[in-house]
Structure 1
Amino acid sequence: MAEVSYYTKEGLEKLKEELQYLKTTGRANISAAIAEARDKGDLSENAEYDAAKEAQGLHEGKIAQMQETLANARLLDESKLDVSKVLALSIVKIKNVKSGATMSYQLVSESEADMKAGKISVTSPIAKGLLGKSVGEVAEITVPAGKIEFEVLEISR
């Protein structure tokens, strides 16, 4: 069984829009490439045709994967979430105990993760270490560089 993923309203809409694009414009572009390659003659020795057909297969695979992701997507009502503990969709302000550096992250699903926007996946080592923690608690998190201690300063939605 596929894993259930939790999304914000914006993230779920973005996923639906991308799937719709792949099903319409994406398929049309691939069909045009196949037709153009087919018009170039003998299909048995036509590398362009083979490449277009392979691209079609990869495209259809991506559509199937996105449909499965969407079927297992759940929309979280952020207004009903507990703000006393770090949960999926929490915005958490943390401090590196050793260096004193502070940062804020929102814990989102893998497909919504965007480090530049301050959104990290709930499956990342830092997010996993923070889940369930309350303000004032220290989480010791193992990352590729070693162990880091983060103190939870603030939790919001």
Structure 2
Amino acid sequence: MADKKHYMTLDGKQKLEDELEFLKTEKRKEVVERIKVARSFGDLSENSEYDSAKEEQAFVEGRISQIEKMIRNAVIIEENQTNTSVVGLGRTVRFIELPDGDEEEYTIVGSAESDPLEGKISNDSPMAQSLLGRTIGDKVTVNTPGGEMEVKILEVK
């Protein structure tokens, strides 16, 4: 089975590469040192510090593996797409909620970069799925966990 493609900007890929470098060069060494110290405490079967360090090691190694896979399967989102009126990956879309008029703006990114608090939503999210391929002026019904909402697209950049 083919690995899942991970859509991301060049900036998002660089952040993952930086995190990977940190985990491999600094965090790994830190965890190994914690394990060494914990071993010196004696009986490993009742050593909570050792157990904790081993759990952290497993987490770090899992995260390294996950990031390597994401980078290997990265598909870079081109920032200079030709049609700027169509909502697409890497685009920022501004819309108004109907009928209450709340205005929101999100950039649609790959799941590796999503950060809703920073205004970046995953292309796999219900909001993004409803907006992708739509154009300025379109009214779109979005299925959210809180129920359906209708929005009107004001701007795509």
- Aligned-pair CA distance for 1:81: 4.6
Within 2, Cα distance between the matches of 1:117 and 1:142? Answer: 21
CA distance in 1, matches of 2:40, 2:82: 57
What do residues 96-137 of structure 1 show as CA deviations (whole Å, max 9, x unaligned)? 121111111100112212223211111111111001101111
How do residues 125-136 of structure 1 correspond to structure 2 at under 5 angstroms?
A: 125-136=126-137
d(CA) in 2 for partners of 1:22, 1:59? 7
CA distance in 2, matches of 1:54, 1:115: 29
Following the alignment from structure 2 to structure 1, what is the Cα–Cα distance between the partners of residues 95 and 86?
13
Given that 2:131 and 2:140 are in contact with CA atoms closer than 8 Å, whether structure 1 keeps it comes out as: yes
Which secondary structure does the structure 1 equivalent of 2:108 belong to? strand
TM-score (norm: length of structure 1): 0.92
| Counterpart check, 1:139 vs 2:145 | no
**C-alpha separation between the residues in 2 aligned to 1:32 and 1:81?**
52
Distance 1:96 1:135 in 2: 14
Deviation at 1:84, TM superposition (A): 2.6
Residue 92 (1) aligns with residue 97 (2): no
Secondary structure at 2:80's aligned position in 1?
helix
Count of residue pairs brought into register by the alignment: 156
Larger mean CA deviation between 44-53 and 72-81 belongs to 44-53
Task: Note closer, same or farther for the CA distance 1:149–1:73 as it changes in structure 2 (3 Å cut).
Answer: same
Which is worse superposed, 72-81 or 88-97?
72-81
> CA RMSD, aligned part only?
1.4
CA contact (8 A) 2:6 2:112 kept: no
- Counterparts in 2 of 1:4 and 1:81: CA distance versus 1, 3 Å: farther
Distance 1:110 1:118 in 2: 13
Q: Partners in 2 of 1:103 and 1:43 — Cα distance?
A: 54
TM-score of the superposition, structure 2-length normalised? Answer: 0.92
How many angstroms does 1:70 deviate by? 1.0
Alignment partner, residue 111 of structure 1: 112
- Percent of paired sites with the same residue: 37
> Separation in 1 of the partners of 2:82 and 2:75?
14
Greater mean alpha carbon deviation, residues 50-59 or residues 90-99: 50-59
> Aligned partners of 2:106, 2:5: CA distance in 1, in Å?
21
Equivalent position amino acid for 1:70 in 2:
I
- SS at 1:51's partner residue? helix
Offset, 1:145: 1.8
The code of the aligned residue for 1:101 comes to: D
